[in-house]
Each structure stands twice: as C-alpha cells, then as structure tokens.
Amino acid sequence: MHPARATRLIFLLSGIGMASWAPMVPYAKARLGLDEAALGLVLLCMGCGAAAAMPLAGFLTHRYGNRDVIGVSALMVCLALPLLTIAPDAYWLGAALLFFGASLGVVDVSMNAHAVDVEKHAGKPMMSGFHGLFSVGGLVGSAGMAALLKAGAPLTGSALAVGGGLLAIVATQWRHFMVRLHDADETHSIFRLPSAAVLLLGFLCLVVFLAEGAMLDWSAVFLRYSRGFDPSLAGLGYAAFSIAMACGRLLGDRITASVGRVTIVRAGAFVAALGFFLATMLPWTSAALLGFVLVGVGASNIVPVLFSAAGRQPRTSPGIAIATVTSLGYAGMLAGPAAIGFVAHRSSLSIALGGVAVLLVVVSACASIVRR
C-alpha cells in the first residue's frame, strides 16, 4: 500500500531530521562562543517555532489537504538543516531554529493527520508502527550525524548529506500521500472551537509528553545525584527508556488490535506510573533502571492512540483536532521539565517525579475517552 509506505517514510524522515540537530549543538556552541545561558535561550527557539506553527498546520491540512502540506514542510526541513550550520551569530541561529522547529511542527501535524486517514482506509491499528519509525529515525539521525562528524566530515557537508537523503524520501514519496478522506460531518468544522473531548485528549497528551520530557531532561540527573551513578553511566536510564519505547511502538499495532485502545491507554499509563514510583521509592539502582524501562514500555503506545482518537472525533477536521492535541502535548514537553525543576527545588527530585506518576494515574482513569 503506497500511502502506508509513504507515511512510514515521512515519520522516519521527521525522526532523522529532528535528531540530526542534537550532535550539531556542541559545534554551534563552540563556533559561536555561546555560554550555557545563551545556548539555552537559543535552543528554546526550536520548540517555540514548532509550538507556533502547529495550529497553523491544522488549518493548512484542512484547507489544502495533507499531501502538499507534508511535501512542502518536509522540503523546508531539508533546507533548514544546512542553514543551522552556517548561522553567523546567535541571533541568526535562533532564527534558523525557529524555521527548523516550525517546519518540523507542520510535518508533525500533517503526517499524523495523514496517518489517521491511512489507518481509517486500512481499517486496522497502524499509528503505533508509524510512531515506531519516528523513534527509529531518532536513533538513525543522531547516530548517523555523529558518525559523519567523527569520520572527519565537515559540519555543513554532513548536514547537506543528511538533508540530501531526506530530500530523496520527499521526492520519491510525495505523489503517494493521500490528500484527505472527506467526511460529511467535517463540513466547516474548521470554524468550531475544539470540543471538550479533543481538549481532554490534549490534556492527556500533555501529561504523557511531560513524562517523556522528564525522562529526557531529568533521568540522568536523578541517577547521578539521587542514586549515585557514575557521570559516565548516568545516561543509561534514558537509553533504557528509549529502547523500551521504540520496541513497544514497533509491536504496538499488533498489541492494540489484540487488547483495544482503551486498554492500551489505561494499562500503559498505569505501567508508566508504576515505573516512576519504582524508580523514586526504592533505593536500589537496579530498581531505577527497571522503573525507567517500565516508563518506556507503558508510555510507548499512548500518544499514537490519543492522536488516532483525535483524528476520529465527529464533526471535527482531523488536522484541526491533531493540531490541538499536538500543541498541548508540546506545551507539556516544553514547560513540564521546568515545572519539575521548580518542584524539585522546593522539595526533592524524587517527589517531583512522583508527581508525574500521579498525573499518569489520572491518564489511566480517563482512558475511556479514546473509545469515542
């Protein structure tokens, strides 16, 4: 099925494009002479660009269809990668990151809206597999860019090489994307405010993205300072989480078809909460690593199911609904780690991460929303 293959490849492209930036960050810091505070402000531009573009992406997919929005925004990602390497100062790098983040944000919304259409057309769960390819792309992008740089390739040349590979995906798959599945009850839905169900799905997505952001920004700190890990080994927690999440997503469609979407959200959120409780309440290092694995396994398929449920809401454009849910999710990923830091400063990191577990229990309790 060509649309399904094209969807898998665009999720792979998005993961590669986003992760390729990570190995370039130290080079940007050194080349522009940025201190940590200045670098932090510049890096924030990427998330701000994505968050600002996502609501626009919902309108564009509703107005013009998924195919051209995916194609144009993916081309913008290919163009943005080399621009990140030639920015002459922090201001231009911030502008390039805004452009890069906005491009990725539009790709994110449009590819998920397209994935909902493909899933409807196929009549079976497919969203987890698509998101699994995004996770694989993240591993390929970061490892591939790092390998090019370690081999001595120039930074701009490496970015051009990755961008060229992504461009080949866009060029070969553009015509295979579906425009849109038209439903009679979607007429003029763009002019309606998001329904309460969509907003609830967005809140649940915010919590899960907050949990993922907590793992990205705080797992190594927790292992280092709360469990006494050597600094060189503190990253093992996030590695364990990432591998568990990628494996869970690649198997997720089969599991979802077997147990149902409600069970995926209810049990998955409970398992992720259990993982946080296990890591923070038991003093053993093995318990912390096992807990982070459980977080990855439990959280792996919740967001794909939430996106799929948003795209199936009646009298609502899939693009608009997914833009709403994705924007709220990104808000959790951007603001959540900072909130965790504030709570940890007032109490402890264990208590802050335990608070994330409580929010995941709320997600588990609200799982029935994905049945609608």
* One-letter amino acid of 232: S
356 HSE (CA, 13 A, CB side): 39
Work out the average pLDDT over 195-205. Answer: 92
Question: 296 pLDDT exceeds 50?
Answer: yes
Per-residue DSSP letter, 21: T
pLDDT digits (tens, 9 = 90+) for 247-263: 999 899 999 999 999 99
- pLDDT score at 243: 87
Which residues, 6 or more positions from 351, have their beta carbon under 8 angstroms from its beta carbon?
280, 343, 344
**Contact predicate 274/298, CB 8 Å:** yes
User: Which distant-in-sequence residues (6+ apart) come within 8 Å of 280 by Cβ?
Assistant: 222, 291, 350, 351, 353, 354, 357
H helix intervals, 65-126: 66-86, 90-122
Distance, in Å, from the CA atom of 310 to the CA atom of 44, rounded to the nearest integer, reads: 27
Compute the distance between CA of residue 163 and CA of residue 157 in angstroms, rounded to an integer. Answer: 10
Residue 187's pLDDT band, with cuts at 50, 70 and 90, is very low
- DSSP readout, 307-338? HHHHHT-TTS-HHHHHHHHHHHHHHHHHHHHH
Mean pLDDT for the chain overall: 87
- Locate tokens 């009646």: which residue? 314
CA distance 83 to 98: 11
Over 80: is that where the pLDDT of 33 sits?
yes
CA distance 267 to 45: 35
Residue-wise pLDDT tens digits, 209-268 = 999 888 877 888 888 888 888 876 777 888 888 889 889 998 999 999 999 999 999 999
Q: How far apart are CA 105 and CA 54, in angstroms?
A: 5
- Classified as helix, coil or strand, 292 is helix
Q: In angstroms, rounded to a whole number, what is the distance separating the alpha carbons of residues 89 and 177?
A: 38
- Does the pLDDT value for residue 134 go beyond 70? yes
Q: What is the mean pLDDT of residues 85-94?
A: 93
Centre a 10 Å sphere on the Cβ of residue 107 and count the other Cβ atoms it contains. 28
Q: At a CB cut-off of 8 Å and minimum separation 6, what does 265 contact?
A: 204, 302, 305, 306, 363, 364, 367, 370
Q: Which domains does the chain have, with CATH numbers?
A: 2-179 (1.20.1250.20), 190-371 (1.20.1250.20)
Tokens of 191: 């002019």
Per residue in 324-362, pLDDT (tens digit) is 898 898 888 777 877 888 888 888 989 999 999 999 999
CA-closest candidate to residue 324, choices 53, 58, 108: 58
| DSSP percent split of the chain into helix, strand, coil, nearest 5 | 85, 0, 15
* 289 — pLDDT class (breaks 50, 70, 90): very high
Q: Show the CA angle centred on residue 11, arms to residues 252 and 242, nearest 5°.
A: 55
Non-local (6+) Cβ contacts of 137 within 8 A are: 11, 12, 13, 14, 15, 16, 17, 18, 19
Position 185 scores a pLDDT of 47
Dihedral pair phi/psi, residue 134, rounded to 5°: -65, -45
Query: Of residues 302 and 3, which shows the higher confidence score?
Result: 302
pLDDT at 98: 94
Phi, psi of 227 (to 5 degrees): -125, 5
The pLDDT, as a whole number, for residue 163 is: 94
| 6 has pLDDT over 50 | yes
CB 23 within 8 A of CB 142: yes
Distance CA 183, CA 333 (A): 32
Tokens representing 312? Answer: 């199936």
